[in-house]
Copies of this chain bind each other. A is one copy, B any other.
Amino acid sequence: MESRPLDALNFARGKKVIVELKNNKQLIGTLRAFDIHINVVIEDVEERVEGEVKRKLGTCFVRGDTIIMISPA
């Protein structure tokens, strides 16, 4: 098992993830890149609010400080 949290993100690279934001929205897409601030780039993004798809967004750069958690989709 990984011993550092960023190793887990590295393992999720190229996989579909749910990114939970502090504004109660979710972004579902493929994790393409991240850095130590947890800034992430996700591709083929769907924005959902309370489970309902609101927008298709292509590739998103998300600022790390707006993220609560990242989990597999």
Contact = CB atoms under 8 A, between A and B. Distances in A.
A24 to B, nearest CB: 8
Interface string A1-36: 111111111001000000001110001000011110
Give how many copies assemble into the complex.
Answer: 7
Given A3-B33, A5-B41, A22-B23, A70 B66 contact: no
Given A22-B23, A61-B9, A4 B35 contact: yes
A63 B58 contact: no
B71 A57 contact: yes
Contact of A69 (B4, B5, B66, B68): B66
Interface of A: 1-9, 12, 21-23, 27, 32-35, 38-41, 45, 57-72
